[in-house]
Structure 1
Amino acid sequence: MRQTQKVMLAFSEATTSELNEILEHRFFKEKKSPKSKSKTSLSKQQSTAPMSAIKQENSGTKNIYEIIKQMRLERNAPVDLVGPQKCFDQDKDIETQRFQILTSLMLSPQTKDDVTSKCANRLLEYTINDIANMDEPDLIKLIYEVNFNVTKAKRIKDLAQLAIYKGMPKTFEETIKIKGVGEKIALLYIQVAFQRVEGIPIDVNMIRICNRVPIFKEKSPTKLRKFLESQFEHKEWGEINETLVGFGQQICLPKPKCDQCKLKDICEYYKLQNTSDQ
């Protein structure tokens, strides 16, 4: 009990820089639960999120996010215009739409949104049966611009066959078992295809932003997801991915446009770069 009181006192008295140090302290390292057997149950992961205890104490995360939202008012980044979650034909039946959504998301890893969109839109001309029965070399030609096109072609063909014989997955747990689908893709698929927000999908842009400012210094997508979910109400989760990804595509790039950023006065990365240049 005394240990808990000390931790809470530390939070209440901490400055912003001290709070960042506290966040990285071993108090908040994940504890493995001996009863947890499934790696796919997101609800169990959320219920034990190590950052939930600091939700109200750390208001800085929300303030930073609001500033980013101000910089994203135009919503004209690649993710807004041609993001993989937007590449599906709304005139098709619901099962075909779900197949198209997941196919587009599976094409997207390690590939820019405009390239993913170009390839995904080519596939819209084909039915699920067409793709299931297509020779892999022909499928590769349709998606040749994406990285790892050979592997992705095989997995998309497997998905088409799954859709025919078992139907498209309807839950996060079912979706993440598919080869080529990770946590981010599964969460985006469920959000777009079923309008269910079950978590915050984490993108490489988000990891870069959160480590630079910093919002949370962590390279693990799962740990960053848990942290962000502890900071925001569930009703806010649905827009966070697209907001931060677009910011990472337009301003906080690998080579950032710091002169256009409203966060530079508080950004540790900006301060470090400018100090080192002097």
Structure 2
Amino acid sequence: MENLFEEVPNWKVILTPILEKYNQREHPLEAKNTYQLLVMVVLSAQDSDANINKIAPALFENFSNIESLALSNLEALIPYVSKVRNFGTKASWLLEIAKTIKNDENIPLTMDSLTALKGIGRKSANVIMRESDVSAEGIIADLHVIRVAPRIGLIPETLDGIKAEKQLMQLLPKEIWGEIGMAISFLGKEICRPKPNCEACVMNRNCSYYKNL
């Protein structure tokens, strides 16, 4: 007979090793302010952080704030983002965002207001909010989190970031939402890669994948 009183795992305690290891580590996008972060997050969708960091200096030298972007057009902007995947669509999104916000002081920092902007979904909004040090309203669920969270045993396997985030939010206490997504992501980039280095992982004592090896 199923044990209805089976103890629920204390995931806050179990995840402490990676929360401590990656505590407050900055996002790989090398943004210097909220404006730059917003632009770089939009550009980074389906592209690498390294590529966005590479094109960013010239972009921000010519478009230093939202105001300058709002006064621009596709013809002027595209040469600075042409090496980014889907650059035409992203350039259009950025111009629309800039014309909507108008200046840097108006950049929103809530989930609803950020996701109302073109090109910004929940994952991007969570990144912007984390790096802006505001209270988390969700959990970053990028490709690394989608791979690593099921491997550890947190959630079932899924290819859907929204579904993964929802499951994590239901499972984990709100006080760790702001850091846990990024911590799992860093773990996935550095150690828990498609071919994981389990022996070097701080989570191997509590990892479903490692226990089943």
**Counterpart amino acid of 1:83?**
P
Q: What's the TM-score once normalised by structure 2's chain length?
A: 0.79
SS of the aligned residue for 1:10 comes to coil
**1:157 Cα offset (Å):** 1.4
Cα offsets for 1:55-89 (capped at 9, x unmatched)? x7222x3344223346x3598xxxx45523x5134
Counterparts of 1:1-278 in structure 2, within 5 Å, are 10-13=3-6, 57-59=8-10, 61-69=11-19, 72=21, 80=25, 83-84=28-29, 87-89=31-33, 97=34, 99-125=35-61, 126=63, 127-164=65-102, 167-193=106-132, 195-219=134-158, 220-264=160-204, 267-270=207-210
> Separation in 2 of the partners of 1:82 and 1:141?
26
Q: Which runs of 5+ in 1 are unaligned?
A: 1-5, 14-55, 90-96
Over the matched positions of the two proteins, sequence identity in percent amounts to 27
Cα offsets for 1:7-59 (capped at 9, x unmatched)? xx63524xxxxxxxxxxxxxxxxxxxxxxxxxxxxxxxxxxxxxxxxxx7222
> Separation in 1 of the partners of 2:27 and 2:50?
6
CA contact (8 A) 2:14 2:206 kept: no
Cα offsets for 1:105-149 (capped at 9, x unmatched)? 111222222222233343332232332333424422212333222
Structure 1 segments of 4+ aligned residues over 6 angstroms from their partners: none
- After superposition, the Cα gap between the structure-2 partners of 1:270 and 1:168, relative to the gap in structure 1 and judged at 3 Å, is same
CA contact (8 A) 1:101 1:193 kept: no
**1:209 Cα offset (Å):** 0.4
SS of the aligned residue for 1:208 comes to helix
Residue 53 (structure 1) aligns with: none
CA contact (8 A) 1:107 1:120 kept: no
Figure out how many residues of one structure are paired with residues of the other and give that number. Answer: 209
Measured on the aligned residues, the alpha-carbon RMSD in Å equals 3.1
**Counterpart amino acid of 2:172?**
F
